[in-house]
């Protein structure tokens, strides 16, 4: 939940919202419209840009607790948990179970008093009649770690005319030292990746590399979307670039590194 506006009114707005979160005032017709819109959004996802579909599936494959949208709504297989939800069920869940235990994390910036913001945050468990979830019980976005030296490959089909390939390389548990090393290394190679596959080989407009943000695992991601080359050809070109880049990194001089 994001609050923005005149600083002196934000704490009042936070407290006012806290009091309303336990009551659902939506009408039945509007509730059905929300469900229909959600289903259309999921159905249209198969027509989204290939790289967006790939990133969605990559997150699903990477995170231990991820649930794919096709697991709760997929017309092709007849899965539909959305239609069966009733407004009465939603209201009952919100009033009894949803806020039974909660944990709040937040950040504030601007012309705000720390104590005032703290009081506004503390209004949420009080208004919701909730107990605070202990830190050790709070869910984490845990990444599925690939064993050292191993690799995994997944292929997905899409209705779009573009192909996409992504390579994710894991480097182990996150630490400040590893983060610094990855960012330094990526600064050295990101221009090469873009220039080689986007400018020279002209595979497509979307050529991206970067640090993959995760809670406990450090990783680099390399992605290319192309309307002219199939994913297996893109994979071969990316892997060729990786091999050449590793050789080049081993010959970087001290002065260039500094």
pLDDT at 107: 86
pLDDT at 21: 86
pLDDT at 212: 85
pLDDT tens readout for residues 212-225: 877 788 999 999 99
pLDDT at 123: 87
Read off the tokens for 185.
Answer: 């290394």
pLDDT tens readout for residues 88-108: 999 899 888 898 999 988 888
pLDDT at 225: 96
Rounded CA separation 165/227 (Å): 12
Rounded CA separation 160/130 (Å): 46
Rounded CA separation 154/145 (Å): 15
Q: What is the mean pLDDT of residues 119-148?
A: 88
Burial of 11 (0-12, 13-18, 19+ CB in 10 A): buried
Rounded CA separation 15/69 (Å): 33
pLDDT at 203: 93
Residue 239 pLDDT level (bands cut at 50, 70, 90)? very high
27 within 8 A of 90, measured Cβ to Cβ? no
Average pLDDT for the chain: 91
pLDDT tens readout for residues 197-214: 999 999 999 999 999 877
Rounded CA separation 12/4 (Å): 12
**pLDDT tops 80 at residue 111:** yes
User: Could you tell me the pTM of the whole model?
Assistant: 0.84
pLDDT tens readout for residues 49-78: 999 999 999 999 999 889 999 999 999 999
Residue 141 pLDDT level (bands cut at 50, 70, 90)? confident
């Amino acid at each position: 939940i994001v609050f923005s506006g005149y600083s002196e009114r934000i704490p009042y707005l936070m407290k006012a919202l806290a009091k309303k979160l336990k009551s659902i005032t939506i009408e039945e017709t509007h509730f059905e419209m929300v469900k229909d819109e959600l289903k259309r959004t999921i159905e249209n996802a198969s027509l989204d840009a290939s790289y967006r579909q790939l990133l969605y599936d990559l997150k699903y494959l990477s995170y231990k607790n991820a649930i794919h949208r096709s697991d709760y709504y997929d017309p092709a297989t007849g899965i539909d948990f959305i239609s069966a939800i009733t407004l009465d069920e939603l209201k009952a869940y919100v009033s009894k179970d949803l806020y039974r235990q909660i944990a709040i994390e937040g950040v504030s910036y601007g012309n705000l008093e720390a104590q005032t913001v703290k009081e506004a945050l503390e209004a949420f468990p009080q208004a919701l009649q909730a107990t605070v979830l202990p830190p050790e019980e709070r869910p984490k976005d845990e990444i599925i770690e690939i064993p050292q030296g191993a690799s995994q490959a997944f292929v997905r089909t899409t209705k779009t005319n573009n192909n996409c390939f992504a390579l994710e390389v894991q480097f182990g548990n996150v630490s400040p030292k590893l983060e610094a090393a990855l960012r330094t290394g990526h600064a050295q190679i990101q221009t090469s990746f873009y220039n080689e596959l986007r400018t020279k080989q002209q595979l497509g407009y979307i050529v991206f590399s970067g640090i993959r943000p995760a809670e406990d695992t450090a990783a680099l991601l390399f992605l290319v979307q192309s309307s002219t080359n199939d994913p297996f050809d893109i994979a071969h070109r990316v892997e060729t670039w990786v091999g050449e880049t590793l050789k080049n990194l081993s010959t970087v001089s001290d002065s260039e590194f500094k």
